[in-house]
Amino acid sequence: MNDSISNPVRRVDAYDKAAGYAQYLADMKFEGLLYGRLIRTPVSRGVLTGVELPEMPEGYRYISAADIPPGGENRIQMIKSDWPVFVSDTVRYLGQTVGILTGPDRQRLHELASKITVHCRTQEAAYTIEEGLACRGGAIHGDDNLFADFHLKKGDPEAAFSQADRIVEDTLETGFQEHVYMEPQGITAEWKEGKLVFHASCQCPFYIRKAVAPSVHMPYENIIVNQTTTGGAFGGKEHFPDVIASALAVAVYVLRRPVQVIFDRREDMLYTVKRHPSQVLFRTALDAKGRITAMDIDARLNAGAFESCSPIVLQRTIFSANSVYDIPNVNIRGRAVATNTVPSDAFRGFGAPQGIFAAEMHMSHLARELGTEESEFKRKYFLAKGGKTVTNGTVREEVLLEQMWSRAAELSGYYEKLKAYPPGSYRGIAPAFYLHGGGFTGSGEQEIINGKVRITGSKDGSAEILLSNVEMGQGTATTFSKIAARVLDIPLDRVKIANPSTARVPDSGPTVASRSIMVVGKLVERAASQLRERWGGTSDESVLVQYEHPPWIRWDQETLQGDAYPCFSWGVCIVEVSVDPGTWEVETLGVWTGHEIGRAIDEAIVHGQVIGGVNQALGYGGLEKLELSGGGFAQHTLADYSIPTSLDFPKVTSFLVENPYEYGPFGAKGAGELVFDGAAAAYAAAVQRAVDRKVERIPATPEYIMEITEA
Amino acid sequence: MNQIHCRINGSPVAISSPGTRRLLDVLRDDLGLTSVKEGCGEGECGACSVLLDGKLVNSCILPVLAVSGGDILTLEGLRETERGRCIIDAFAETGAVQCGFCTPGMVMAAAALLFEHSDPTEQEIRIGLSGNLCRCTGYDMIVSGVALAAERGRGLW
Amino acid sequence: MVDAYYPGSLAEALELRTERGAIPFAGGTDLMVKYRRPAGVLPELPGPVVLLGHLDELARITEEGGILHIGAAVPLSVIESDRRLPYLLRSSASQMASPALRNVATLGGNIGNASPAGDGICALAALDARLRIAGSQGSRSISLEEFITGPGTTLLREDELITEITLRPSDCTRVFYRKVGTRKANALSKLSVCADAAVQDGVITDIRIALGAVAPKVLRMKDIEESLRGSTPEELSERIPDVLAAYEKHIRPIDDQRSTARYRKTAALRLAEEFLRNLSEEENRE
């Protein structure tokens, strides 16, 4: 066995979790704890006219906008601050926070909460992208309901369209998706020696600190956020914890007692953020030989009631709208549309899955139209080193998709199965290709985050990594430790890493954007190597390093032109299905995936990411129907919202191809989101081949498959 | 109020509680057995799985009165046994653990399965885990963990 | 205030039912979900409950003179593995909910709950199940079909409890069971089809078709079944379009968060057709 860093180790958190010792927020004890229940609006849009409260027994309080301390502002500081802590007049979505009811006994609290009546004057609401674009009921945001309206241009699409032999149009749609982290959202806040201290199940402790500061008018140094062991997040705990924390901040500021809010699962499913539904319209120009000469793309995301991070999600969508293909002339418009639904927000992939689903399915539709085998058609357009992206950035790495394709095709028996299952045979197999840009978009790492990491070495020979990226299941506690142990040349168990506290760790940035290993891991590597130079394991030493931008990156944030990402990770996924001709139920017979993520810091952890990501994506593609119903969601229990069980999908075959990246630790690039990006499209394309009908949206439920086959 | 007598992790326990109170709340709030998690509160996710007289049950929808005279095992009890250690080790080794929130329930489901089938097939393992939702792993590595525990623990089950 | 009773015997349970109006509570897997509240809050049940799951009288499966008696509180996990029971019933039990729920949930509860999507009810309807009901004035027997009057409504009186399900032996061996759920396991039914038939000397001597979750209660059309008895497979083959047309008239599904009315209807008819086709094409199998 070689000594590659990729060789799997036992995860540092595995034993405590498997033996039930790990303490999540709900397992922790707080002296004198009060419980909090958020009181919500009963309508999607309107004006708050009053709140009727029952008589409050001693120890129970209702806290709302009127309780915001002097100097405090009724706003949550995310990227923008349009989202108020408490509704004071305008209501934008069903279940928006009006107040927080606190008290010592949950039974009593529940009884009191059910006696509170929130009165609103109702206005006509807009729920869908179409209704948002039409400003149904009047604009919610600005005068056009657009949180963002971006335009990209590559080559000369107008000229290409004017010379087109024919033009093919297509509309692809994706639905809402719920994160279903197994641990629901929860935060406890307390007042300690003049400081406001949060214990939060979250991805971004420093985001919470920033978010709550304006509402209680306190300086950062008096606000501490401790991440608690986090039972899954997937993007759902990137910004949403800010919403709970802000209400808690005001409550604790007033009460000076610890208050805990833990969502019940239904509450979590109804009132927390979701993946953006999308609509992507394609117009593609073909020449007389059936070659693509240009694309015109119009992408729309349902952003929900407040801006949150929707413009940045939208950037990912449009930057991914050509997937792995080099199309010479492209016009792209992207719009993030305000509606009266719960705000849409970060979810693994962050807009890329929508763009890639659309691009892959459109390419698949073109292949159908042209009578060309799908993989052959797609492979003709693969990006290559030196190729140009839709932002006119440059692909700087060797693109190994051909090699990955050959291997995946061989493992799956793709070509044999293609022959064996002609279109319409109710068996189908299909590929999807995808990529994911590593790290923050554009100059975000340099200009917004500028992450710092500290490593301290102690005289007992142990080292501690101090950074703000959290372990939420994805394995960073282990991978960061491996990087440091390897560079410092000490055993893994001599490296310590704890759940971060903003009072203790430097801000290495949020746990998002597949940046943790590639960007922050690089900082760990650099800090460790600097520490190694002056620490022999017998003294106390400390090293702080700061992010350095790769020098070649050219990016203009105003025009969205240049290298949107320093590098890409790449993937291929093949899915084989059979469709029941009587019920249109889909049985997934096989899933084969290959990924190029530079180098894996730990192969077992990466495979865990692959299999988990692929299952989540197959759920997105086939099972996870989440429909609006009166401004809320029709499927708001785990009985009705179907995430995959152990029996829904077969064992996933997964392989990795190495292609080390200079600016990642040991050559590593991002992996966590990439592995989600492609499987839904492969699934949909396999179903499409099985029933020989165009699949234009996901989830491709049996109901939908029936509609297209029986149409 | 009802008086309920049962055994929890091998010790006799007397509980004074409204009979319809969820076993989950009694285990977590009164007895501090926090390996038992609440993921959904309606019997769908299995994070609250415990064994009642050797059978897997969801403690979130079991009224405490229903366990009168019963024998309850949580992970706090199981981890003290050789069987428990065998499953925990196998999970840690196969990468079956990610965020960990479903894991105690998964370990209990694995135990229930192995008590019944000492040498399960992959399909039997998948059926045995089918009421325990995991959003991180996609299950394959948990299935491997259970298979490894079955193999390593030969004679234990 | 007592919110739950733990009777020592069926007689005591009946007394609690009669005198305190206690709600029958077998496994409680439906009641505890329906009336659930958040962590640390008691379920808001509409009245006191009487626990039944532990009563030996309700937990036995016995066979007398070919008639099977299944205690109303026998858990589904026992039903799925008891080889004396019809395959149709075992199949349906094995696909209900999850292993942990099957250890607790009961057929009696499934029947009492009377959900149109109750999987056990559909299988039992195809098996012509009867129920034994105990009351303060003695016991009575009633067919399952008569007992369930609509979604969530039954003929159970306020002093009664379902004590057992009885099944007569049948010659049917052509079992067809299909549950179409929201996913492959731990799923609720969008619809289900439970069917069974007997073929002797090239003639269909018995046939039952029950369609679940496509109407306010399980749909069984005995007149159609009766008309098919005595047919040869070839004759059946010719009748299939008419039979399906007759079913189509009575299928009245709903749109809900799990599926659409159109899908339920179309898939149910397709599956019924699949069962009938299989039967009509098997003449040489005897």
> pLDDT digits over C181-226, tens only?
999 999 999 999 999 999 999 999 999 999 999 999 999 999 999 9
Write out chain C residues lying below 8 Å of B17, CB-based. Answer: none
**Residues in chain C, overall count:** 286
Contact A478, A600 (CB under 8 A): no
Residues of A (7-46) whose Cβ lies below 8 Å from C: 26, 35
Chains in contact with C via at least 3 Cβ–Cβ pairs below 8 Å:
A, B
DSSP result, C215-276: SSS-B--HHHHHHHTT--HHHHHHHHHHHHHHHHHH------SS--HHHHHHHHHHHHHHHH
Contact C104, C54 (CB under 8 A): no
pLDDT digits (tens, 9 = 90+) for A442-474: 888 988 899 999 999 999 999 999 999 999 999
Structure tokens at C275: 């069962």
pLDDT at C283: 56
Chains in contact with B via at least 3 Cβ–Cβ pairs below 8 Å:
A, C
Q: Which residue has the tokens 């998948």?
A: B126
CB atoms within 10 A of CB C238: 11
For B18, the closest of C3, C99, C185 (CB atoms) is: C3
pLDDT at C286: 45
pLDDT at A1: 52
Instruction: Give the integer Cα–Cα distance in Å for C145 and C130.
Output: 8
Which H or E element spans position A569? Answer: strand A568-579
Contact A384, A205 (CB under 8 A): no
pLDDT at A711: 84
Structure tokens at C101: 């729920």
For A106, the closest of C40, C186, C257 (CB atoms) is: C40
Instruction: Give the integer Cα–Cα distance in Å for A512 and A345.
Output: 12
Instruction: Give the integer Cα–Cα distance in Å for A632 and A636.
Output: 9
Best residue of C20, C32, C78 to probe chain B, by most B CBs closer than 10 Å: C32
**Residues in chain A, overall count:** 711
What is the bridge-based pairing of β-strands A34-40 and A97-103?
Answer: antiparallel
| Residues 6+ away with beta carbon under 8 Å from A162 | none
Contact A590, A653 (CB under 8 A): yes
Instruction: Give the integer Cα–Cα distance in Å for B70 and B77.
Output: 15
CB atoms within 10 A of CB A529: 15
A706 → chain C, closest CA residue: C263
Which pairs with CB-CB distance under 8 Å and at least 24 residues apart come from A690-695?
A690/A421, A690/A423, A690/A424, A690/A425, A690/A426, A690/A427, A690/A428, A690/A577, A690/A578, A690/A579, A691/A424, A691/A426, A691/A428, A691/A579, A691/A584, A692/A423, A692/A424, A694/A365, A694/A368, A695/A361
Would you place residue A211 in the very low, low, confident or very high pLDDT band (cuts 50, 70, 90)? very high
Structure tokens at B30: 């009164």
B100 → chain A, closest CA residue: A17
pLDDT digits (tens, 9 = 90+) for A471-487: 999 999 999 999 999 99
Instruction: Give the integer Cα–Cα distance in Å for A323 and A364.
Output: 12
The minimum CA-CA distance between A175 and chain B, rounded to whole Å, is: 19
Structure tokens at A676: 């989600």
Closest CA to A275 of A182, A348, A172, A173: A348
Mean pLDDT of A231-248: 98
CB atoms within 10 A of CB A391: 24
The minimum CA-CA distance between A245 and chain C, rounded to whole Å, is: 20
Per residue in A37-68, is it b (16+ CB within 10 Å) or e — as a string?
bbbbbebbbbebeebebeeeeeebbbbbbebb
Write out chain B residues lying below 8 Å of C186, CB-based. Answer: 44, 130-131, 133
Domains of chain A are 27-123+188-267 (3.90.1170.50), 278-441+560-709 (3.30.365.10), 444-546 (3.30.365.10)
pLDDT at C1: 65
Which phi and psi (to 5°) does residue A250 adopt? -65, -45
Question: Does the pLDDT at position C240 exceed 50?
Answer: yes
pLDDT at A149: 98
Which phi and psi (to 5°) does residue C92 adopt? -70, -40
Q: Provide the CA A670 distance to its chain's centre, in angstroms.
A: 13
Residue A254: CA count within 13 A, CB half-sphere: 25
At A281, the amino acid letter reads L
The minimum CA-CA distance between B21 and chain C, rounded to whole Å, is: 5
Mean pLDDT of C32-59: 97
Is C178's Cβ below 8 Å from some Cβ in A?
yes
Write out chain A residues lying below 8 Å of C258, CB-based. Answer: 640
pLDDT digits (tens, 9 = 90+) for B111-141: 999 999 999 999 999 999 999 999 999 999 9
Contact A308, A345 (CB under 8 A): yes
Is B68's Cβ below 8 Å from some Cβ in C?
yes
C271 → chain A, closest CA residue: A582
Contact C16, C22 (CB under 8 A): yes
Domains of chain B are 2-77 (3.10.20.30), 79-152 (1.10.150.120)
Q: What is the DSSP letter of C213?
A: S
Assembly ipTM? 0.99
Mean pLDDT of A251-270: 98
Structure tokens at B39: 């993921």
Q: Considering just the CA atoms, what is the radius of gyration of chain A in Å?
A: 25
Put simply, the answer to whether B137 touches A608 (Cβ < 8 Å) is: yes
Report the number of secondary-structure helices (H) and strands (E) in chain B. 6, 5
| Residues 6+ away with beta carbon under 8 Å from A111 | none
pLDDT at B137: 98
Helix/strand/coil percent split, chain A, to 5: 30, 25, 45
Contact C117, C97 (CB under 8 A): no
Instruction: Give the integer Cα–Cα distance in Å for C71 and C58.
Output: 4
Q: Which residue has the tokens 């304006």?
A: A214
Best residue of B75, B107, B135, B148 to probe chain A, by most A CBs closer than 10 Å: B135
Write out chain C residues lying below 8 Å of B42, CB-based. Answer: 32-33, 36
Put simply, the answer to whether C40 touches A584 (Cβ < 8 Å) is: no
Contact A320, A433 (CB under 8 A): no
Is A110's Cβ below 8 Å from some Cβ in B?
no
Put simply, the answer to whether A645 touches C180 (Cβ < 8 Å) is: no
| Residues 6+ away with beta carbon under 8 Å from B127 | A646, A647, C99, C185
Instruction: Give the integer Cα–Cα distance in Å for A505 and A205.
Output: 10
Contact C260, A637 (CB under 8 A): no
Closest CA to A127 of A179, A85, A175: A175
Chains in contact with A via at least 3 Cβ–Cβ pairs below 8 Å:
B, C
Contact C144, C124 (CB under 8 A): yes
Mean pLDDT over the full length of chain A: 97
Write out chain C residues lying below 8 Å of B2, CB-based. Answer: 2, 4, 6
Question: Does the pLDDT at position C34 exceed 90?
Answer: yes
Is C263's Cβ below 8 Å from some Cβ in A?
yes
Closest CA to C110 of C31, C15, C17: C31
Put simply, the answer to whether C183 touches A267 (Cβ < 8 Å) is: no
Instruction: Give the integer Cα–Cα distance in Å for A398 and A54.
Output: 67
DSSP collapsed to 3 states, A174-211: ECCECCCCCCCCEEEEEEECCEEEEEECCCCHHHHHHH
Is A635's Cβ below 8 Å from some Cβ in C?
yes
Residues of B (29-88) whose Cβ lies below 8 Å from A: 34-35, 37-42, 44-45, 47, 74-76, 79, 84, 87-88
Write out chain A residues lying below 8 Å of B60, CB-based. Answer: none
Which pairs with CB-CB distance under 8 Å and at least 24 residues apart come from B1-6?
B1/C2, B2/B64, B2/B65, B2/C2, B2/C4, B2/C6, B4/B64, B4/B65, B4/B67, B4/B68, B5/B68, B5/B69, B6/B67, B6/B68, B6/B69, B6/B70, B6/B71, B6/B72
pLDDT digits (tens, 9 = 90+) for B46-102: 999 999 999 999 999 999 999 999 999 999 999 999 999 999 999 999 999 999 999
Structure tokens at A529: 């190597």
Is B102's Cβ below 8 Å from some Cβ in A?
yes
The minimum CA-CA distance between A583 and chain C, rounded to whole Å, is: 5
pLDDT digits (tens, 9 = 90+) for A314-335: 999 999 999 999 999 999 999 9
Write out chain B residues lying below 8 Å of C3, CB-based. Answer: 18-20
A105 → chain C, closest CA residue: C40
pLDDT at A442: 86
Q: At what angle do helices B82-94 and B103-116 cross, to 10 degrees?
A: 120
Is A710's Cβ below 8 Å from some Cβ in C?
yes
Structure tokens at C149: 């009057």
Is C97's Cβ below 8 Å from some Cβ in B?
yes
* Residue B16 β-bridge partners: B3
Put simply, the answer to whether C273 touches A582 (Cβ < 8 Å) is: yes
Question: Does the pLDDT at position C285 exceed 80?
Answer: no
The minimum CA-CA distance between C61 and chain A, rounded to whole Å, is: 30
Put simply, the answer to whether C32 touches B56 (Cβ < 8 Å) is: no
